[in-house]
Amino acid sequence: MNVANDTNQARTLEGKTILITGGTGSFGRAFTRDLLDEGKAKKIIVFSRDEQKHYQMSQEFNDPRIRFFVGDIRDKKRLQTAFRDVDIVVHSAAMKHVPICEYNPMEAIQTNVDGARNIIEAAIEAGVEQVLGLSTDKAVAPVNLYGASKLCMEKLLIAANAYSGKGGTRFALVRYGNVMGSAGSVIPLFRRQLESGRLTITDERMTRFWIDMPGAVQLVRRGLECMYGGEIFIPKLPTSDITTLAEAIAPNVPRETIGIRPGEKLHETLVSADECARTRDLGDLLVIWPEFSFHDGIPQSKDGTALPPGFIYRSDRPELRLDLEATRAMLKEVA
């Protein structure tokens, strides 16, 4: 998926100090590597509460441009310290495992909702230029606490543009589907189960959007390049059903259907019918514009093409579906 313009990206991030919340996670590590390879950022601050992952990452990267900052987004005072002289914040910290969030709802709210509020307030106080949050298809018409908490996070970051005022911090989001091979993905699960000779399937009808990690990184870069404040940037992604994915990973291996877990959906949605009227098609991605104009920076005439009335971008649409060979080709990109 090509969602980036390298020249504009280099100009956007050149000489900037960039902080990544959840920076020791799968996305944070990939984004840090990408920034280091590009070589334009002045400083990269990895913010995370996991001391062991900080140590492991520092051993792997060992670059003087990186600062490792142990902290929790639940702690506003720690964020205020971390955000000093920061230009850009990429917010990827979250509790994201659906069953764990269902069983520990108070913890999920404190991280995904209260943490977002802390980031907003600390960023405005510190004069951060841009904050870009990472959201998920599960935030659209949510049926589980994880999705509901990410929907709240979206609403908070969009409305934060009103709090920051004209010329203040700008907030926007990217929203995408499952990241292939990331922690909690079904792909590494199936590969582990392949060794035991039996795969577990929740429901054969289930479909999911897929994005690779480089695609997620480039989407974030594109969002930072294009944002005025208040937008949600959504990539155009392929989908697969769970049985095709299982066959591509483990052909002819017996499968057992175990039923949908608490809080799971059969299909995921990236743009709802209610959001359709505010969404524009830019060719390589979709942009949902905010319902209100918070400041003069948002253009009155939106770029791109309007979507058909009632359009829904859902994972069970047949034109998006990968067949077996295409699914196998997609999986080759995942180590």
73, 115 Cβ separation under 8 angstroms: yes
* 326 token code pair: 């295409």
Q: Which residue has the tokens 């009808």?
A: 205
Q: Apex CA 288: angle with CA 282 and CA 290, to 5°?
A: 135
Give the number of other Cβ atoms within 10 Å of residue 249's Cβ: 21
Tell me which residues are annotated as active site.
Answer: 138
With 0-12 / 13-18 / 19 or more C-beta atoms within 10 angstroms meaning exposed / middle / buried, residue 25 is buried
199, 256 Cβ separation under 8 angstroms: yes
Distances (CA, A) of 258 to 54, 100, 206, 245: 37, 18, 13, 16
